[in-house]
Amino acid sequence: METDIQIKEMVKEKYSLIALQSKTENETSCCGVGGCATVDYTIFSENYSKLDGYNADADLGLGCGLPTEFALIKEGDTVVDLGSGAGNDCFVARAITGETGKVIGIDMTEAMIDKARENSEKLGFNNVEFRFGEIEKIPIASNRVDVVVSNCVLNLVPNKPKAFSEMFRIIKPNGHFSVSDVVLKGNLPKGVKEASEMYAGCVSGAMQIEDYLKGLADAGFTNIKVQKEKNIEIPDDIMLQYLSKDELSEYKLSGNAIASITVYGEKKESCCEPGCC
């Protein structure tokens, strides 16, 4: 696999192309941008249309859950969406926070930021903003955020412990997060694990579920719990781009799996915080 810098550039290039397409175009171009040798992002995505604040122009079908539905957002909260894309989760969050809240989307792809800002302008929101930045160095001051959400993005970050620690840093004491992400149960075959296309497709960069949850705990979060979990099956025609038929059969019999989870955790106030004691 490439270096961290190469991985980020590869992901940025892939998602810049996706930003130029609609959800329908991504769904009907076999597997989104790049053709049939890459993962179809709609394999992971769930239906947002029933949620208040849903905006079809902002839905590119790139998520793997509905984190805003589980995030316990309250009116007036400050919410940050990590990897905000075209703004889908931000607009759903804004419907809950109302005019007294604030929603900030963070994304490292300029094309996605541009698309999200365009969508926000159409909606006339004055309390939703989109900032260019990386999750390993979030452009937000410490202890400012009530709720962090993220949808199928943290698996794309090369340095996941740093991403988790940055989440912890920006959340206020007694704040919390709810993120949807792709994780592994057991090992991926080598051919899939080493494919850069499968990294951009949210598969080969995924962590073992136990390591993912431990990483959140190591960052300082408590009361961590999986709110939703479902196994994901990548179609054979995609897997066979990287595996032989025998390797695919062996993988299917192994009991290993790719899964999407929505996980919650809290940042408890401690006596290390100023004025706590």
Q: Which domains are delineated in the chain?
A: 4-267 (3.40.50.150)
Query: Cα separations (Å) of 160 from 157, 176, 205, 207, 228?
Result: 6, 18, 10, 9, 21
Rounded CA-CA distance 19/61 in Å is 11
The pLDDT assigned to 261 comes to: 94
State residue 30's pLDDT score. 33
Q: Taking the CA of residue 271 as centre, how many other CA atoms within 13 Å lie in the half-sphere pointing to its CB?
A: 1
Q: How far is CA 157 from each of CA 67, 76, 181, 227, rounded to the nearest angstrom?
A: 18, 30, 11, 22
Q: Token digits for 68?
A: 């805003």
The Cα 39–Cα 33 span in angstroms is 9
| Residue 38: per-residue pLDDT | 47
pLDDT in tens, the chain (277 residues): 467 787 778 777 777 877 777 666 555 443 333 443 444 445 566 778 788 998 888 888 778 889 999 999 999 999 999 999 999 999 999 999 999 999 999 999 999 999 999 999 999 999 999 999 999 999 999 999 999 999 989 988 889 999 999 999 999 999 999 999 989 888 877 777 766 556 555 565 788 999 999 999 999 999 999 999 998 888 888 888 888 888 889 888 888 888 899 999 999 987 555 555 4
Q: Pull the structure tokens for residue 14.
A: 């892939």
**pTM, 2 dp:** 0.85
The token duo for 196 is: 């850069």
SS3 149: strand
